[in-house]
Structures are given as structure tokens and as C-alpha cells.
Structure 1
Amino acid sequence: MEFFNKAKAVKLRGHLDKYLSADSDQEKVRQSRRGWTQKTKWIVELVEGKTNLIRLKSVHGRYLTATDVPFLLGMTGQKVVQSDFDKGLDRKFEWEPIRDGFQVKLRSWCGKYLRANGSTPPWRNSITHDDPRATSTRNWILWDVESVELPELMDSYAESVLSSLASDDFSGSEPPSPMSVSSVKSSRHSFSQISSNKFRLGGMDFFRNAKAVRLRSHHDKYLLADDDEESVTQDRNGSSKSARWFVEYVPGYDNIIRLKSIFGKYLIASNQPFLLGMTGRKVLQTLPHRLDSSVEWEPIRDGAQIRLKTRYGNFLRANGGLPPWRNSVTHDIPHRTATQEWILWDVDVVEIHVRSPGQKPAAPSVPRLDSLDFESDTPSAVSFKSANFSRQESADSYAGSPPKIEGRTIYYHVAEDNGDVDDEDVQGYSLIFKGNGVEEMTRKFQEETGLEDVIVCTRSPLNAKLYPLRLQLPPNNVTMHVILVLPSSKVARDFEEQGLL
């Protein structure tokens, strides 16, 4: 219960590094890799009179429910869904958290456990409650718990969340009665101040007003930008200028930052494996043609420290052990207890934005996502001008003349087994591609994502169905939106049956 006692809302990540997600149909639940969407956030309600039980409410205002309906006839495992609260069936909405190391098991009313299923369809991405007996499925019932600040839930579901918040806690024997948003706001003046603030309480609180920071790992070593202007490493010399990272805030997001080294290059989560055959991918400092999701980091508070999460769900990790691991920095998801603290960082603010007494806090001006035109009012440019670094000349050289971007921008999503795409209306990931051939573009996607034999598809404007790309691409200046389909998916099998592959 210690994972939930103080948490108003959480995200639950299963053994496949996918999150428990509430479908938009407001009934189904499943697993999704898109941990940053609202669907993966669950409000925690403590059950009155039962100190060891909780309820979990989705952003749709419906509860995680363990039913007695079999997921598949003749197979073990029963359905888990979202449903409205029913006082007569309150046991089905209650879950008992049981600690298992750094993770939890959630036991349902009948003694079974919330389970994130793997394997082939229809099991893939499904959620059931079951009592796994096979050794290979033991970890399917283990969940990582990530605390989420309530202001993150202020979106189109604001009325539902505010209604819950208005009761001071979530311990009622039944859901709080609905309240209007205006009445909640008036009775929660301090909360409305927080929710209107550019900086959410939580991980971003460590970077409030910060122009430059140092990041100290659990080894008491600092994140350093190497003099080769490409590598990053750890070192105990926190007084080095290379330990200073300039903070940029991403337009349109109030929980995402970029970090720039003194060489004017961004901290990037690359797709390159650190060592072949081993987990963990390289973290580098680069100046990409386009500021895409690889240079974006989400600070997540963990007590007095933070974790820096990539948009792919990995965490910035300071490695220990023997060479070549010693002093290296990668992004990864630690699964061993001994390495859980390797993703925790202390934040030292070394330079702040000074404001006049009457000036309102505002995020510093930052470059647009489709531009590298670093004007003098960006935090990095101001710092370069005032600090007189040895690399001043090289930093200024690219600040006034952004490199010309060649090729087309391609936005992409990865489809689920049945062809569904989470948040397809959102821009998604992107890459720059210079060619015109589908085969060449497919190889580029395989290098970018690490997915083998991926099928590049487009959605027909006539019937909204997916079709593999077969023809030459339009000219380079045309932006494209595509969907990647895995070769083992149901969609790919349908393509083969239809003779499209």
C-alpha cells in the first residue's frame, strides 16, 4: 500500500514495458507503449474502512473492474474492464496491492491477480485477472507504479477529475457526487493556481526558473559532455563547465524539457545499442537536423530526486560496474533490483532566470520544433554570451545560420496487432528522409526503430483502411504521415491473404 497511500494518481507499467490503458470506448482496458497519454493514468481511491484496498478510476471516470466473465471460453483468465461504480458489486472494483520488491501485484476480489498478457493474439496486449501457474508467466502479474500529479489530468476529462478532487481524498465508500467545474475551482483556489502554472508540480518543479543545471547520479558523479562533442559520461568533477546543461522548455508541453551541453548540442536518446546483444542504448550529444522526440526528456519526481524518461519509455541511466560499463550513460529500463537506483538523479540548479518582482513566470523562448534558428533570447544563447566559454565561437557560428534541412519530414505511428493506432490524431514520432523509394524508406525506418521487416503503410482517405505503400514517394518537400505494421500482426496476415505483400 505504500505505493498508493500518498499517490492521487498513478500509471502502471507491466513486464512488457507497456502501460495499463483505458480504451476510448470507455469499456475495454489493454496495454499500450504510449505511457504519456491520458488513457494510462488512473486516479487512486482508498476504500473506506479497508486500509489494504484501493480502487482505480480511469480518466473516463469509470473503475477498473475484475469481472467473472472468462476472457476466452475454456481458457484460464477472466476479463478486466472499465465500468461505472455499483455499490452492490463493490468488491469487483477493489484491488489489494501486494509488494514484490520494487513492484506490486494487484489482487482481485476472488484472489486472482491483474495480469498483462503477452504471446500471440488474442492474448497480446490484453488484460485479465488470473493466478499464473507457469514459471514463464510469473512476472506477468508484476507492475511498476509511477506516481502522477493530478494537474497532469486536467484535459477534456477535467470535470470528472475535479469532482473527485473536491472531496479532499478518495476514501468515500462510493464515488464523489458530481460537481460543476466552476464550483470545484472556487473551492479549490490553491489547486487552480497550480493547474494554471506553466510548471507542473512534480518532476518539472526541479527545473522551475532554471537556466542551467547539473545532474548528479547515484554514484555521486555528474553527467558530463565529453570534449569530443559527441559522447557523454560521468565524472566526479562537478565544477567542470562540461557538467553544466542548459534547460529548454518544449512549446506546447509543460512536462517536457531539452538539455543542451556547453558545446551547443542536445542530450539525445539514440537508437544505437551501447553493446551488441546487451540492453541499453547510447546517450549522445548531437545537433540534429530537426528537434524531434529523441531530444525530449520527461522529468518524473521520485522523492527528492528525478528520473528522466524518454518518449519511448526508457530512462537516463548512469551505469556502474566494470569497464566498459563504468562511467557510461545509457537509456534503459532497469529490471534488476541492484540497478533500480541507477536511473535516479539529483538536480543542482547552477543558473536561474532572474525576473523583476512584478514579472510573471514564463517559459523561456525556445526554437520551434521545425526550426533551428536559435535567437538570442533562448536560454542557451543567453548563457553562451554571458559565460565566455572556450567554445563561444563555434556556438555562435551555428546560432545565426541554421543548417538547411534536406529531405522530407515523415511522421509515423506503430500500429497494434489489429491495426489500431493510439492517438493517431497526435503528430507522433518523426524522421528526415531524403530518398523517393519505398524500400529505401523502409530500411530507414528499420534502422530508426529497431523493428525488423516492418511494413510501411498509409491509411486510405476513402475507407480509412491501411494499405502498404508500393509506389514512388511524392517530392521531398511534401510532409508524409505513415503507419508502421509489424510482420507478425493480424494486419500483415490480412495483407498476405489479399495479395498486397
Structure 2
Amino acid sequence: MEYFNKAKAVKLRSHLGKYLVADDDHHKLRQSKNGSTRNSIWLVELVKGKSHHVRLRNSNGRYLTATEAPFLLGVTGNKVVQGSLGDGWNGKLEWEPITEGLHVKLRSWCGKYLRGNGGTLPWRNSITHDDPYASTTHDWILWAVEPLEFPDKLLSSPETHFPSSLESEDELRGSEEPGSSLLQSTSSDTMFRSGMELFHRAKVVRLRSHHDKYLLADEDEESVTQDRNGSSRNAKWTVELIPEFDNLLRLKSCYGKYLTASNQPLLLGVTGRKVVQSVPRQLDSSVEWEPVRDGAQVKLKTRYGNFLRANGGLPPWRNSVTHDIPHRTATQDWILWDVDVLEIHVESPAPPPIPHSDSLDFDSYTPSAVSIKSTAFSRQESTDSNVGSPPKLEGRTIYYHVAEDNGDVDDENVQGYSLTFKGNGVEQLTRKFVEETGLEGVIVCTRSPLNGKLYPLRLQLPPNNVTMQVVLVLPSSKVARDFEEQGLL
């Protein structure tokens, strides 16, 4: 409750780096990267007689409300909507904040928790209240609370453009251009202009922090630090563009290792996680950075919304490098970097394809994951055979779509979403999809080449080097009921 006792209004940011916003239809809620509109402001009302409960009211005058309606029939998770005191919602408008570290969990009237969903559509960007049963989705109920000092003034400001449809992360990244910044919250990223132009032809760069120190790859081949000596080879980072994305890059140190956003805290109980050098077994989102232009400088954002940060102050903070979201004005400039281009590409041929995994393994790579599997990056992953070349991709790439109620799939000819899977068992693959999408009880299907109908996968999968395309069927759908009637399940 300490986050809400003194705050007149707050913004709530999910584990995915997105804000809880109220749509203008006065009913729906969702998550968005754009936290600079009044739709993301929630006024705090303390509940009389209940010292540990609050109501959260949006700019439409309606309240965050936990309903009994399922988000999808037959699937865990109930809808959270905008309700009002006059609709007979009673205690369903009340939430109990429970502090967990630097975040809070908001418990509803029935003991479930406000959850910001990830994964694929229709889950992506949706809001439910639920009990997370899988360790991979535990962080989905954690929220960062950003208090606001002048909510009345902010709510009376003109509205900026706010997309009304449910966007994917890539759509948000490319389309959200704020007009004027309404909120002065220190963690709001009000400049969504791409910084890729600073790296477009760059082959080797140096990154200089706000403290006039350079980003260095330490000689232990694991740590990353800051130093004033920019002439060292350790200050040089090779730029790798990623063919699949036009707004992401990788940075490789002089030791052939990638700048990596790890899930290890720099200090236990303190915000900020280590940035290290590593060669992951597969090139994933932990080594990908999105340059975001801020004037003449750049911010380097992880796929989970944190920023590369050069720390100052006293040891052990001094000269350390973490990824974090700065919440204080005094540390805002710590995520700004000057880019010195040392070498450029004379020609610009298309980069060779690099194996890429879109699998969001929250246990291993999510910066704020609760379970930390490794306390150090193994040197065995950086043998001479690995230096200078990407590691061999293990497993197969599986492309998938989520079917409609009747089994139809929009744009099935398009590759769709993908994950990397090592194994041949259908049951193991199904568990992987549940972790990836959050869809409990999902049925993994393939389409017959003879009649085009969907059939559940039941046999072993082909060898690991065979790329597959499958369709996910929800257990509550009509096509799943047809499977049961035909004895296919």
C-alpha cells in the first residue's frame, strides 16, 4: 500500500514494459508502449473501512473492474474491464496492492491477480485477472507503479493520438509517435524516433556515456564496464544488423562475444540487472538492442523495455553497466550514449542470414525473471571455435498460427509466429506452446495436404532439421469439439 497511500494518481507498467491503458470505448483495457496519454493515468481512491484496498479510476471516470466473465471460454483467466459504481459491481472495483520487491501485485475480490498478458494474439496486450500456475508467467502479475504529482492538470491536457486497435509490439514500435509529452514521469519514453540511422553503415563503433566514459569489454571476457580510455581495443564494438528486423542490432566485443542483457541483479534487492559479454547457445532477444534516438544521442533498449545504463556514484555502482528504467530525474541521462563511428561499410551488401529465435524463454532470458538459472556465463561457450562466428542453432524452427473458433486461420500463407524447439515429442512441444503463449490446454494441429482439414498431432515429429508449420486450436473452440466427436482427442 505504500505506493498508493500518498499518490493521487499512478501509471501501471507491466513486466513487458507496457502501460495499462483504458480504451475510449469506456469498456476495454489493454497494454501499450505509449504511456504519454491521459488514458494511462489512474486516479487512486482509498476504500473507506478497508485500509489495504484501493479503487483505480481512469480519465473516463470509470474503474478498473475484475469480472467473472472468462476471457476465452474454457481457458483460464477472467476479463478486466472499465466499470462504474452505479453498475452493481460492488467489491469488484476494489484491489488489494501486495508489494513484491520493487513491484506490486494487485489482488482482485476473488483472490486472483491483475495480469498483463504476453504471447500471441488474442493474448498479446490483453488484461485479465488470474492465478499464474506456470513459473514462466509469474512475472505477468507484477506491476511497476509510477506516481504522478499533478493528475488534474495532466487529465485536462489535450489528448494525443492513441491507437484504438490491439497492436503487436512491432506495430507499436513503428507507429507510436507522440505529439506533446503529457506526463512528466521520469521513465516515460517520449521520443520513439528510431536511432538505426546512426548505425546503418557503421561497422565498428564506440559508445560514450553521460560520464564521458566509454563502454568497455573487460579482459575477463565476461564483464562490461566504463573507462575513460577510448583508444583501447576493448572500447570497440562491431555492429551486426539483424535481417529479420529493421530496428534491432547486436554489438560484438573484441573477444567475439555479444553485449547481453542478463537476468542477474547487480546487487540483490536493488533495481538494475547486469550487462555482460556472452555467446548464447542460440542468438535470442537477450543480445538484441533497439536504438532509440534522443536528440544527438541514442538510448539502447532491450526487447523487454529496459535501457543500457552507465552508472555513476560510489562503488559498487561506479563504472558499472546495467539495464534498467531510470525512475529519478537525476539518473535520466545515464541511459544516453554518444555513438562514435570508427569504421564504416564501404559497400552495403545484404547481411548473411543469422539464425534467430523468437522464443520468449522467460525463465532464461527475461531481465526481471524470478528464477535465475545461472549465476555466471560459462567460459565454455566462448572457445576459439566460437569466437567470431555465431553458434550453431540447435533444434528446429516451428512456425505457428492460432486458429479461429471454426478452425480458420487468417493469413496462413504468411510465416506467422515462430519458436525454436529441440525434441521430437508432441507432448513436450505442447508444453512448450503453453509456456510460450499462455494458452492452457492448447491443441497442436497440422493441416492435411490431401483435404486441407486440421488434425491433432499424435505421432513423433520429423527429425530436428525439418522446419514445421502448425496451427494451435483452443480447447473451447468448435473445431476442438469436433475432434472429440470424431474420437481424435
Pairwise TM-score range, normalised by the shorter structure: 0.3 to 0.5
Bigger helix fraction: 1
TM-score by length of structure 1 reads: 0.47
**TM-score normalised by length of structure 2:** 0.48
